[in-house]
Structures are given as structure tokens and as C-alpha cells.
Chains A and B, each alone.
Chain A
């Protein structure tokens, strides 16, 4: 039976260690291995971490608050484009300047889009978010002087940190990894906070929440902005990692891709979206070794199967497996 997360108020240090073990292990692997990775695997890991942040940000809006948005890539893309423009058109390469700029643009856009989108609900919300995303796609496509039009903005370099070494793929990987850990931590705290619980309450029964004293519109709006903020972080990292920004990164293609990742991984567990991103990107890298042209077909098929049969997403199964392993070592009271 599925239970709510038990409220463990005071845990013995042994129990805490066992609970955190997989994360520690995974983190160690992710920290030690990269210098030995092939460039191919390294770039895949970078993409997984970036899309992990991106998917987590969508899950704030979709999984926790219950807002079905198919325009989330707008924030991701606008951040990426800001980064690209600053770096290639203006030659600004410092991470400390470019990152805040990109993130602020994404957050601002979310603030504007949120006001428009939250005027409607249900299926109309889906329509509006899709349309707003496509609107931005159209802007990127037409505003050739600034965005390079359909050719996009190629040649985006790695940003510099102002430290005495040149940024290589490996160092960039560590930058991405560090930001991933920071974002995951912040989002985790958000989910466990009163605000995060309120979002879930709104998803379950918005009406009831209003009667309990919650200004539900404000919560939805803030969730939208926070989601946009973290999508912006992902976008800032994405631009140099893919070294080119094209209009498709703003539009329905990318919005649906990240939604797919969230669904496959599952919205019910915290790391579900990250697992989903990992699965999709792993698959993509392996499929593109053998038959890259068939990738959308396989992605679509995986998606259809996942929605039909794996209703709660892979993340729930991973969690159950892990719980079974954990409890079989007997130290934790069920």
C-alpha cells in the first residue's frame, strides 16, 4: 500500500546513513568517474543533469501544483538564447554575468506568462501555455537580426568562471553537477516546505484550500515563477553544452520532450523527473548509435507504453525497490 512519507522526527544516525547511502554512492560515482569518461558519455551525463533540472522545474508546476503546461520550454529557451546572445553577439563570457541574466529573463517571462495563463483553467490552460510557447518560437524564428532566425545561434562557448584554468568539458561537467546538486536541494526543500505542501493541496482540491485560508491564485502564480526560474538555470547551462540555440528549443518540441521525461519518470517521487530524463537521454544516445532516424518513433512508443501501463512512472518502482532493499536490513521501523 502506498503511504505518505512517514514523518521521522528523530532518526538514529545509522538509519540516516542507510537512507542517504544511495545518494552518497551515486554522488561519489558522479564525482570520481567523469575525468575517465569518454567525451560521448560525458556529454550525455551533462545533458542528463541539465534536463534533470529542467524536468524537476516542470514537476513543480505539473506534478505538485497540477498545472498541465505544454509551454515550459519557453523559459528554458529564453534563458538559453539570452546566454547565447550575450556570449556570441556581445562577447560576454563570464558565467557570473551570463547566468543571472539568463535566469532573470526566464523568471521575468514566467511572471508575464503566468498572469496570462492563470486567467483560465483546465483545457484552456493547456491551450494558452502551448500558444504562448509557440508565440515565442515565432519570435525567435522571425527576429533574425537578434536570434539568427531559423539558423539559430551557433558557436556558444563554455562560460568562464574567472578561475585560473580554461574551461574544458570536464570542468564544465563539474559546474553542471554542482548546480544540479544545488537546484535539487533547493527544490527538495521547496517541496517539503509549507509552500510545497500547499501546492499539493491546491492540486488535490483548490476549493478546499481557499476555505482553509490559502490564496490559491497566488500560489499557482508563484509556482509558475519558481518553475520558470529553475528552467532558466537549466537553459543557461544548456546553451554552452549544446553549443547552439535554435528556435525549436523554445517551442512545443522541447516542451513536449520535457513533459515526456516527467511522465516516464513519474511525478509522485521527488527524483522521478530526473530518472525520466536519464531514461530518455540514455535511450536517445544508444538509439542514435544504431538508427538515429527512428528515435522519435521509439521515444513515442516508450511514451505511449509508459502512459498506458506504467501509470505512476518508473520512479515509483525504483522507490519501492529501494524500500524493499532498505527494510530487508531490518533497522527501520515500518
Chain B
């Protein structure tokens, strides 16, 4: 019984990392209509930049925030210099981000090398607590906590603030929003900044749990895409639900039938796409 709880908790904590990545992806997709194929690469870059910063800055959380901001700025440059030139051309924008996947991946390989990098949790979280006869890392609990905190913050932003209302309006009807005098370009940049920030942070704080390597970007992007579709595009709740579900399936799957885990996830993905493309909690399209 305890071993199940362990797997579920592992799944949820992993799901929180997924959530951070997927929520950014979902926002960018919902507001700008762009599938940011480089989102996984941003996550990976966040991990590596964070690692480098960590050797100079003591505080774990400061590093996480700083790393996130660096990635966010990078994302902003990407959006302002490149993406905004292809205004409204969804296909071309997705392709552009694809180009950056290649660039970022190779740069990371170049600068940091191809060896796996492990990150460590801050010392006060580096212990484990007992669950039955197993020990569960305290840091994973911290991850769950952080994830829920971010989810709550995003939800509040989405539902309770004027800025959030603008973002939601932008998702529904871009022309109307622009017609109301809201600077759509500014909204896009802000959203991209936020999404990149979340991905970058996720990269670093995920390190104690996920080993970093220069190829981890794209698989993570695929997982995030699956989360967004299953949970429903555009809403924070959807990303959270989807992330938790996928996290649990992934962990249970790896424990029970390791060879088929990925398979199952893709199968579920395709089924949801066919049966209910708007996702479990998404706005019915």
C-alpha cells in the first residue's frame, strides 16, 4: 500500500515540474496562438544556467528566480526580435521556434558539454521523511508545495485580476481586445516573458529530481504538449490537472510496465485528441 502512495507522490511531484512548463506553454498557445516548440529547450536552458549561477550564489531560491529571469529575458528577445515579425502566421511562428530548438540544444552542448548534470536540493530540504517502510525526499514535498503555490497565484491572476481578464479576452477574441485599445503586442511579450520564466525556473528547481542533459528539452516539450491537450488549453486548472494525471501515469507506468509507459501516454493523448480535443477542463471549442 505504501509503495503505491510513494509512486503517486512521486508522480505528483514530477507533475508539478510538468505543470510549470505546461502552464507557460498553454498561456502562450492560448493568447498568442503560437505553439512554442522551443519551450522544452527554455526549460533545459534554465537548468544549465541555474547550475552555473548556483556556483556563485548561495541561496537556492535566489538562483531559481534569477535563472528564471535570465530565461525570461531570453524569451522576450526571441519574441520581440523574431516572433513578432511573423505577426499572425501561426505555422511560421511554430517553425521559427523549432529553429531555436536546434540552436539552444547545440549551444548547451557546446558550453556545458554532454555529461549528465545532477543538482542538489538546498541542505535543509535534503532529508527524507518516512512513509511506511519507505523514505520520501522532503524536497519532493517542497516541489508539490511550490507547484500548488504557483497554480494558486496563476489562478488568482487569471480569474481575479484585470490583467488576467485581458489575457482571457485575448484568448477568446484578439480583434475585440485590440479594438478596446489594449496593446496586444505588449500582452504577447508579457505572456511570453512569463511563460519563459516559468519554464526556466522549472529547469533549475527540477534538477534534484530530474537529471539534466542537453537532450532533455524536446521530450519534455512533448510531455507538456500532452498535458496541455489532456487538461485543456488556456486554463491554469487544466494544466494542473493534466500535469498531475500525466505525472502519476508516468510514474506508475514506469513502475509497473516500464516498456509500455511512454506508449500508454501517447495512446491516451491520441484518444483524447480524437474524442475531446478541448481537453478535460478546457473551453469547449
Contacts of A139 in B (CB 8 A): 263
Chain B: CB-nearest residue to A301? B103
Interface residue A124 (Cβ < 8 Å from any Cβ of B): yes
Is B105's CB under 8 angstroms from A126's CB? no
Interface residue B197 (Cβ < 8 Å from any Cβ of A): no
Chain B: CB-nearest residue to A304? B99
Chain A: CB-nearest residue to B101? A300
The interface bits of chain B over 142-180 (1 if a CB of A lies within 8 angstroms of the residue's CB, else 0) are 000000000000000000000000000000000000000
Enumerate A123-147 residues with CB–CB distance to B below 8 Å.
123-124, 126-128, 130-132, 134-135, 138-139, 142
Is B98's CB under 8 angstroms from A308's CB? no
In the complex, how many angstroms separate the beta carbon of A10 from the nearest chain B beta carbon? 39
The interface bits of chain B over 84-112 (1 if a CB of A lies within 8 angstroms of the residue's CB, else 0) are 01100011101110111111111101100
Chain B: CB-nearest residue to A62? B91
Contacts of B99 in A (CB 8 A): 260, 300-301, 303-304, 307
Is A294's CB under 8 angstroms from B110's CB? yes
Q: How far is A132 from B266 in the complex, measured between Cα atoms in Å?
A: 8
Is A296's CB under 8 angstroms from B102's CB? yes
Interface residue B188 (Cβ < 8 Å from any Cβ of A): no
Interface residue B277 (Cβ < 8 Å from any Cβ of A): yes
Contacts of A127 in B (CB 8 A): 225, 229, 269, 273
Most B-side CB within 10 Å, residue of A131, A256, A294, A295: A131
Contacts of B141 in A (CB 8 A): none
In the complex, how many angstroms separate the beta carbon of B122 from the nearest chain A beta carbon? 34
In the complex, how many angstroms separate the beta carbon of A181 from the nearest chain B beta carbon? 30
Q: How far is A297 from B91 in the complex, measured between Cα atoms in Å?
A: 21
Enumerate A259-312 residues with CB–CB distance to B below 8 Å.
259-260, 263, 293-297, 299-301, 303-304, 307-308, 311
Is A293's CB under 8 angstroms from B96's CB? no
The interface bits of chain B over 63-84 (1 if a CB of A lies within 8 angstroms of the residue's CB, else 0) are 0000000000000000000100
Interface residue A119 (Cβ < 8 Å from any Cβ of B): yes
Enumerate A102-155 residues with CB–CB distance to B below 8 Å.
116, 119-120, 123-124, 126-128, 130-132, 134-135, 138-139, 142
In the complex, how many angstroms separate the beta carbon of A169 from the nearest chain B beta carbon? 30
Most A-side CB within 10 Å, residue of B99, B222, B263: B99
Interface residue A68 (Cβ < 8 Å from any Cβ of B): yes
Is B222's CB under 8 angstroms from A132's CB? no
Interface residue A252 (Cβ < 8 Å from any Cβ of B): yes
Contact check: which of A142, A293, A307 meets B259 at CB < 8 Å?
Answer: A142
Is B86's CB under 8 angstroms from A308's CB? yes
Is A68's CB under 8 angstroms from B91's CB? yes
Contact check: which of B35, B96, B269 meets A126 at CB < 8 Å?
Answer: B35
Interface residue B186 (Cβ < 8 Å from any Cβ of A): no
Q: How far is A68 from B95 in the complex, measured between Cα atoms in Å?
A: 10
Contact check: which of B29, B95, B259, B266 meets A259 at CB < 8 Å?
Answer: B95
Contacts of A120 in B (CB 8 A): 273-274, 277
Is B102's CB under 8 angstroms from A116's CB? no
Is A131's CB under 8 angstroms from B270's CB? yes
In the complex, how many angstroms separate the beta carbon of B201 from the nearest chain A beta carbon? 24
Is B270's CB under 8 angstroms from A116's CB? yes
Interface residues on B, range: 35 or more
Contacts of A138 in B (CB 8 A): 262-263, 266
Contacts of A303 in B (CB 8 A): 95, 98-99, 102
Is A131's CB under 8 angstroms from B266's CB? yes
Contacts of A296 in B (CB 8 A): 102-103, 105-106
In the complex, how many angstroms separate the beta carbon of A84 from the nearest chain B beta carbon? 22
Is A308's CB under 8 angstroms from B82's CB? yes
Enumerate B5-44 residues with CB–CB distance to A below 8 Å.
29, 33, 35
Chain B: CB-nearest residue to A121? B277
Contact check: which of A131, A294, A300, A311 meets B92 at CB < 8 Å?
Answer: A311
Is A304's CB under 8 angstroms from B100's CB? yes
The interface bits of chain A over 297-332 (1 if a CB of B lies within 8 angstroms of the residue's CB, else 0) are 101110110011001000000000000000000000
Q: How far is A155 from B226 in the complex, measured between Cα atoms in Å?
A: 36
Interface residue B60 (Cβ < 8 Å from any Cβ of A): no
Q: How far is A138 from B82 in the complex, measured between Cα atoms in Å?
A: 33
Interface residue B184 (Cβ < 8 Å from any Cβ of A): no
Is B29's CB under 8 angstroms from A252's CB? no
Interface residue B136 (Cβ < 8 Å from any Cβ of A): no
Contacts of A68 in B (CB 8 A): 91, 94
Is B96's CB under 8 angstroms from A304's CB? yes
Q: How far is A308 from B277 in the complex, measured between Cα atoms in Å?
A: 31
Is A128's CB under 8 angstroms from B273's CB? yes
Is A123's CB under 8 angstroms from B35's CB? yes
Q: How far is A139 from B263 in the complex, measured between Cα atoms in Å?
A: 8
Is A134's CB under 8 angstroms from B270's CB? no
Q: How far is A57 from B266 in the complex, measured between Cα atoms in Å?
A: 26
The list of the 10 closest CB pairs from A to B, nearest first, reads: A300-B102, A300-B103, A303-B99, A297-B106, A304-B99, A296-B106, A296-B102, A135-B266, A300-B99, A307-B96
Q: List 12 A-B contacts (CB under 8 A).
A: A68-B94, A116-B274, A120-B277, A134-B222, A293-B106, A295-B106, A296-B102, A296-B105, A303-B95, A303-B99, A307-B95, A308-B86
A contact set with B: CB distance below 8 Å:
68, 116, 119-120, 123-124, 126-128, 130-132, 134-135, 138-139, 142, 252, 256, 259-260, 263, 293-297, 299-301, 303-304, 307-308, 311
Given contacts A68-B91, A252-B218, 17 further A-B contacts (CB under 8 A): A127-B225, A127-B273, A130-B222, A134-B222, A135-B263, A135-B266, A252-B222, A259-B98, A260-B99, A293-B109, A300-B100, A300-B102, A304-B96, A304-B103, A307-B86, A307-B95, A308-B86
